[in-house]
């Protein structure tokens, strides 16, 4: 058991059921309904390492606990970053927190995105809406090791231009990281110059070699279902398509069964799954 005062960087889950107190260093409003919290351990301990795609259980004291992916840079784990969309009780209460307030953190949990499998290949990253938050650490990792990957296509769909997350970073990923960035919105407003329509429309012309590419997809399940179909039409096989799934969670550790999905636990075996492993259960809420 790790002492509260010891660094925890190499001991990521010392007491997995006990939230550790983190202090909010910064609150940033990203869009109308989405905000980012930057957190540091309240006791001055070091942050913990995480892999792109992993999530934490965030506890708003007295309200409840929810799973939220880590959206920060894996090479700067001293600050823990989470980007959250307000949808209900806990996320609404989380949005009320201010700089200096405390929040409970358990984690990191879950299986990461397949950065290793993508090495030496084209990479196709397809987020929809808030799905960009769990994929942002992948984009940081690809940027940090850019030469080890071939072409990187980022195909992002949002509801409106105002809902596009991380617009400044979009520009950096396009200009500095040399990613092929393609944006689309359901409804254009103002001086929008990119595409209008579903993110699936971006796939037929996206620059990647289906025989040597890995795709990572995160968004609403219906969006992921159609994205996977388009990727398959391009010739990408299911063993190189990865999706991230969401279900209600309680323990985050494979104990309680709340996140059971067919024969797997999303918290422990996912949330990132290779598509061929879950194809049979995908989009069936009753499993
Ligand atoms: C592994 C994992 C990672 C996640 N990462 C993120 C993340 O990085 N950022 C983020 O914003 N969310 C993320 N989520 C979703 C987040 O956990 C839920 O939005 C949250 O639990 C909702 O809690 P609540 O108390 O605010 O809403 P509740 O009061 O539980 O629900 C309010 C209403 O919103 C609906 N709802 C619940 N979840 C969602 C959802 N995901 N999308 C749309 N409607 C929903 C409910 O059905 C209900 O109608 C993740 C979920 C999982 C399982
Ligand atoms: S959340 Fe408890 S088993 Fe997955």
- Answer yes or no: do 69 and 134 share one domain: no
- Answer yes or no: do 130 and 87 share one domain: no
Q: Does 268 reside within a domain?
A: no
Domain count, the chain: 2
Q: Does 259 reside within a domain?
A: no
Domain enclosing residue 221, as ranges: 115-244
Verify whether ligand 1 is closer than 6 Å to residue 81 (CB atom): no
Ligand 2 site, CB within 6 A:
249-252, 254-259, 265, 267
Rounded to the nearest angstrom, the distance between the alpha carbon of 262 and the centre of ligand 2 is 13
Q: Specify the CATH number for the domain of residue 145.
A: 3.40.50.80
Average pLDDT, the chain: 92
pLDDT at residue 44, as a whole number: 87
pLDDT grade, residue 14 (50/70/90)? low
- 100 touches 42 (CB < 8 A): no
DSSP secondary structure letters along 69-116: EB-S-TT-TTSEEEEEE--SHHHHHHHT--TT-EEEEEEEESB---HH
Q: Tell me what the mean pLDDT of segment 134-155 comes to.
A: 98
Q: Does 266 reside within a domain?
A: no
Is the pLDDT assigned to residue 111 strictly greater than 60?
yes
d(CA 141, CA 93): 31
Q: Tell me what the mean pLDDT of segment 45-57 comes to.
A: 93
State which of 109, 130, 158 marks the end of a domain: 109
Rounded to the nearest angstrom, the distance between the alpha carbon of 263 and the centre of ligand 2 is 13
At 228, is the secondary structure helix, strand, or coil? helix
Query: What are the backbone dihedrals phi and psi of residue 80, each rounded to the nearest 5 degrees, phi first?
Result: -95, 125
Instruction: Answer with the residue of higher pLDDT: 12 or 204.
Output: 204
pLDDT grade, residue 6 (50/70/90)? very low
- Answer yes or no: do 101 and 163 share one domain: no
Is the pLDDT assigned to residue 34 strictly greater than 60?
yes
pLDDT grade, residue 13 (50/70/90)? low
d(CA 48, CA 69): 14
Is the pLDDT assigned to residue 69 strictly greater than 80?
yes
d(CA 158, CA 85): 13
- Answer yes or no: do 157 and 231 share one domain: yes
- Ligand approaching nearest to the C-alpha of 112: 1
- Answer yes or no: do 82 and 165 share one domain: no
Percent of the chain surpassing pLDDT 70:
93
Q: Does 267 reside within a domain?
A: no
pLDDT at residue 16, as a whole number: 86
pLDDT at residue 115, as a whole number: 97
CA nearest ligand 1 atom 17, residue: 67
Give 112: exposed, middle or buried? Use CB within 10 Å, 0-12, 13-18, 19+: buried
Listed residue (18, 40, 36, 19) closest to 27, CA to CA: 36
d(CA 169, CA 150): 20
Is the pLDDT assigned to residue 5 strictly greater than 60?
no
- Answer yes or no: do 131 and 220 share one domain: yes
Q: Hunting for tokens 């929809």 — which residue is that?
A: 128
Percent of the chain surpassing pLDDT 90:
85
Is the pLDDT assigned to residue 8 strictly greater than 50?
no
Q: Tell me what the mean pLDDT of segment 132-143 comes to.
A: 98
* Residues contacting residue 27 through CB under 8 Å, at least 6 positions apart: 35, 36, 37, 38, 97, 98, 99
Is the pLDDT assigned to residue 192 strictly greater than 80?
yes
Q: Tell me what the mean pLDDT of segment 237-247 comes to.
A: 95
């Amino acid at each position: 058991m790790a002492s509260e005062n010891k660094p925890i960087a190499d001991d990521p889950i010392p007491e997995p059921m006990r939230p550790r107190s983190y202090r909010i260093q910064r609150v940033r409003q990203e869009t109308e309904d989405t905000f980012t919290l930057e957190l540091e351990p309240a006791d001055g301990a070091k942050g913990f390492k995480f892999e792109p795609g992993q999530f934490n259980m965030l506890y708003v004291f007295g309200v409840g606990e929810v799973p939220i992916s880590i959206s920060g840079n894996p090479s700067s784990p001293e600050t823990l970053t989470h980007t959250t969309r307000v949808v209900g009780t806990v996320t609404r209460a989380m949005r009320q927190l201010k700089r200096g307030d405390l929040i409970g953190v358990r984690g990191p949990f879950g299986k990461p995105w397949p950065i290793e499998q993508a090495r030496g290949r084209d990479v196709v990253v397809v987020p929809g809406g808030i799905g960009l938050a769990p994929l942002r650490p992948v984009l940081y990792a690809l940027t940090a090791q850019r030469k080890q990957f071939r072409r990187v296509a980022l195909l992002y769909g949002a509801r409106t231009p105002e809902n596009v997350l991380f617009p400044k970073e979009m520009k950096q990923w396009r200009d500095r990281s040399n990613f092929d960035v393609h944006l689309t919105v359901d409804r254009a407003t103002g001086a929008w110059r990119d595409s209008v329509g579903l993110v699936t429309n971006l796939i037929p012309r996206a620059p990647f070699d289906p025989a040597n590419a890995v795709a990572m997809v995160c968004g609403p399940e219906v969006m992921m279902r159609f994205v996977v179909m388009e990727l398959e039409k391009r010739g990408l096989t299911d063993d190189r398509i990865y999706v991230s799934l969401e279900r209600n969670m309680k323990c985050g550790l494979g104990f309680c069964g709340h996140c059971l999905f067919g024969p797997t636990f999303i918290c422990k075996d996912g949330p990132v799954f290779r598509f061929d492993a879950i194809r049979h259960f995908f989009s069936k809420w009753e499993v």
